[in-house]
Structure 1
Amino acid sequence: MHVQQVQPQAVARRRLLARRDVRLLTYLLFGLVLPVIVWNAIMRPTIELPYWHNTVYTLFVATFASWYALDRLRQYAKARQLSYVVPVNLFAFGAMLGFIGLARIPYSISLFLLGMAATLATSYLVVAKTRHARRPQIVVPGGRVEELLLRPSFIAAPPLAELERQVAHGRIDGAIIADLHFDHAPEWERLFANAALKGIPVYHFRQIMELQTGQVRIDHLAENDLGSLIPNLPYMTAKRLFDIVSVIALSPLLLVLLTLTALAIRLDSKGSILFFQQRMGFRGKPFRMVKFRTMREREIVETADGRRDDAMTRDDDDRITRIGRFLRKTRLDELPQAWNVLGGDMSWIGPRPEAIELSEWYESEIPFYSYRHIVRPGITGWAQVNQGHVTDLNSVNAKLRYDFYYVKNISLWLDILIALKTVRVIFGGLGAR
């Protein structure tokens, strides 16, 4: 990997764009203050003061929420921020509009719509301008840093004496990246320690690779690796509560969709409407997963290889029915799994559960495979929105690294990112992943 020498002017521009306070100020100025001033100059005499105050307050909350959500999502790998500008803004402003309606708060619809349009435009322009802007990252040679993917923000480390002066005088507004497992000279080890004491982030190259790829690679399950993959237990408890409440709240809509889909399957092909299969679940306990049937019923060879081949679904599988192909593309075939979610066998989001035959095969061939079962399996997940169907061991290895990334970083914001990616997959016509 050949990192570049960046001109001071380019570094200064990236430094400014990477600052959260600058982005927030831009949102508030162009998404809130400017439209309020413009609207006030045109419409102010026609509205009572309480209406104006209420609208400005709600616009502030929605604008701040839009900035905050997009800012949090950018911290994760593979966050295609431009794709999420519209849904994030619509959700933030829609939530505030719903609150206004439920609370019967008087407000100005024209001012609210102007503020929403201005914030949406500001969000798009800020994200487009800053999605590749990062603070300079000084790459120290040695070890496996060559495995990093080249980025414009990477800067080749200057000579040791110069870098020591920059650290001592606080002239580094960025981070230092190195292979911290490499046997660096004592002078470099001392520099890493001094930089950390000065508040300068010092990252092991693996941390940066995870942000680049969205995967956690494990070569040896050393104690520190295992500890770093223990999931966020308080969040998992809260997530379980959300799963129960959301299934109950969505049950009227789910019943309508389940009925219509069942009728379509019945009219399309012979056979049962539902498909049941034993899957490997939370903490390695098998459970009976249910989904809509999308394939023709067929004879299964009662051998280990036959059951394993039957459990695999390949792209353009000729067993898929006409309506089944549509259901798989729109994910409607997964709707009955809301029952599994309610029962605690699954969550809305998590590593996809594998058939027992496949799971046992993968566990026998791939080290640490069973560790993915430390969280509840999901209807959709990080690997599913980043990778297609997998059938060979190499692809399963890549999928496992995605699963480990999810386990390590499990949080509300990562789940939101997966939900947004799932919507993009469905409406983008990419189908099941």
Structure 2
Amino acid sequence: MVSQRLQPTRQAYFRSHLMAFLSLIDVSAPMLLGLIAAHLLLPRASITLAYSNWLLAAWVAWGAIRGRHAGLRSYRYYESIVIPACALAISLLVLSLVGASSALRFLLAVTLGWGGVMLVTRYLMRRLAPAMVVGVLPGQLGDLPTDPAVRYVVLSSPQQVALQELDELLIDPYQALSPEWAHLLMHAHAAGVPTCTVASLQEELSGRVSVEYLHGARLGEVPFLSSYVQVKVLIDRLVTVLALPVLLPLAGVVALVVLIDSGAPILFFQERVGRDGRLFRMVKFRTMRTDSERSGAAFATPDDVRVTRVGRFLRKFRLDELPQFWNVLSGDMSIIGPRPEQRAFVEHFNQEIRLYPVRHWVRPGITGWAQVVQGYAADTSTTVDKLRYDVFYIKYLSFWMDVRIVFKTLQTILTGFGAR
């Protein structure tokens, strides 16, 4: 919605007070829940150590993970899982180092309690929050992303702008500004009002890179590939090795079920395109008939008739991907990344879709942002959409982005629901 005037200051104050209240709940909940749980679940002698350790871990995790929030609607639900889980991991690590192992029940209770409080408060706050107010500078009323969580305000002159009533300022970095508007931007930075572009706002609202990057010349101006990429391969291998006691028995059960249902071969090998266009043999449990690609490469669809009865179940819970942890150990794949495509598809899309090779800047993954958000791509149009999510992932690649994808993937595995 586009408006010619700002909302009353009362609404801006209401929004800021809600955001402050939400932060207060986030910080105070582990303290109050910890006090209650400590006196109910811990021996008196260990209360001080366990409680202080939990409180410190909770505040460290909250401060390290909580992202920038321009408005209440940008408080993500995943934070209610990731932040308490990281606090739990920190607490367990510290207690194991000091030799205190009797606080597990206490830590599980406060972790679940804090996560529940964060989830409920985020839901209520998002329902109560007024729309995020974005100030639009003159000449910026182009293709503004539409979203009920955003209200655009046309700024006719710098003198009429009250920065405390804005959540963000929308600017065009390629358009020259008058001294008056430039002075306003300086005040905005000093007042803590963030600036955004149409592309960055679209990314924030949709979780995918906008067409502006896919069909323009601005991609090279974005600092892709953080230093995290350098250690990601080590993390992948370490996590895989630590998970082997769980992965191997589970893979054995799946292999037996596939053998009983559709016979040999149990595994399916296929040439896929990896990082920098290198070819590798990807392995997975066979979920289709043995003659499924006799006529050549074809898109997989949610209701694909080539999929076996057991294969449909394995795909629903992503159990067919288990053998790909071998590809992770060999260095061809990562746990998180764009899904690897067949060579024929890659050669076709490299010609049809601008910047399609960008998705091969990183190792392909067992699961990824495009997979958990969108799922299957069945044609060129949906492949373009999938590419937007893949480029978004590469642009914002970080440890916490990977953690978020892991939790979304676990949600699909445990419930059978979600994008696949």
Residues of 1 paired with 2:192 and 2:77: CA distance? Answer: 32
- Find the partner of 1:96 among 85, 91, 100: 91
Residues of 1 paired with 2:111 and 2:160: CA distance? Answer: 46
1:354/1:230 CA distance change after superposition, 3 Å: same
Q: Which residue of 2 aligns with 1:225?
A: 219
Q: Does 1:53 align with 2:48?
A: yes
Residues of 1 paired with 2:279 and 2:250: CA distance? Answer: 28
Q: SS where residue 147 of structure 1 aligns?
A: coil
Q: Which residue of 2 aligns with 1:12?
A: 13
1:32/1:219 CA distance change after superposition, 3 Å: closer
1:65/1:269 CA distance change after superposition, 3 Å: farther
Q: Which residue of 1 aligns with 2:276?
A: 283
> Greater shift after overlay, 370-379 or 57-66?
57-66
Residues of 2 paired with 1:411 and 1:188: CA distance? Answer: 34
1:286/1:189 CA distance change after superposition, 3 Å: same
Q: Which residue of 2 aligns with 1:364?
A: 351
Residues of 2 paired with 1:424 and 1:79: CA distance? Answer: 21
Residues of 2 paired with 1:172 and 1:368: CA distance? Answer: 39
How many residues are paired up?
Answer: 414
> Greater shift after overlay, 91-100 or 323-332?
91-100
- How far off its partner does 1:395 sit? 0.6
- How far off its partner does 1:206 sit? 1.2
Say if 1:331 and 1:431, in contact at 8 Å, map to a contact too: no
> Structure 1 length as normaliser, TM-score?
0.83
Q: Which residue of 1 aligns with 2:365?
A: 378
Say if 2:335 and 2:365, in contact at 8 Å, map to a contact too: yes
Structure 1 unaligned blocks of 5 or more: none
| Aligned counterparts, 1:128-139, within 5 A | 128-131=123-126, 133=129, 136-139=133-136
- How far off its partner does 1:145 sit? 4.5
1:295/1:153 CA distance change after superposition, 3 Å: closer
1:70/1:130 CA distance change after superposition, 3 Å: farther
1:205/1:240 CA distance change after superposition, 3 Å: same
Say if 2:77 and 2:119, in contact at 8 Å, map to a contact too: yes
Say if 1:137 and 1:174, in contact at 8 Å, map to a contact too: yes
Q: Which residue of 1 aligns with 2:255?
A: 262
Q: Which amino acid aligns with 1:338?
A: F
- How far off its partner does 1:284 sit? 1.0
- Find the partner of 1:123 among 118, 124, 128: 118
Residues of 2 paired with 1:313 and 1:152: CA distance? Answer: 35
1:299/1:17 CA distance change after superposition, 3 Å: closer
- Find the partner of 1:393 among 380, 384, 390: 380
- How far off its partner does 1:72 sit? 3.5
Q: Which residue of 1 aligns with 2:330?
A: 343
Q: SS where residue 307 of structure 2 aligns?
A: coil
Say if 1:347 and 1:376, in contact at 8 Å, map to a contact too: yes
Q: Which residue of 2 aligns with 1:201?
A: 194
> Structure 2 length as normaliser, TM-score?
0.85
Q: Which amino acid aligns with 1:162?
A: Q
RMSD over aligned Cα atoms: 3.4
Say if 1:294 and 1:333, in contact at 8 Å, map to a contact too: yes
- How far off its partner does 1:201 sit? 2.5
- How far off its partner does 1:148 sit? 1.6
Alpha-carbon deviations, 1:371-394, whole Å to 9, x = none? 110011100001001112112111
Say if 2:136 and 2:155, in contact at 8 Å, map to a contact too: no
Q: Which residue of 2 aligns with 1:26?
A: 25
Say if 1:93 and 1:116, in contact at 8 Å, map to a contact too: yes
1:432/1:225 CA distance change after superposition, 3 Å: closer
Residues of 2 paired with 1:179 and 1:56: CA distance? Answer: 49
| Aligned counterparts, 1:60-99, within 5 A | 60-64=55-59, 67-68=62-63, 71-72=66-67, 81-82=76-77, 85-86=80-81, 88-89=83-84, 92-93=87-88, 96-97=91-92
Residues of 1 paired with 2:41 and 2:402: CA distance? Answer: 41
Percent sequence identity over matched residues?
32
Q: SS where residue 308 of structure 1 aligns?
A: coil
Q: Which residue of 2 aligns with 1:297?
A: 290
Q: Which residue of 2 aligns with 1:324?
A: 311
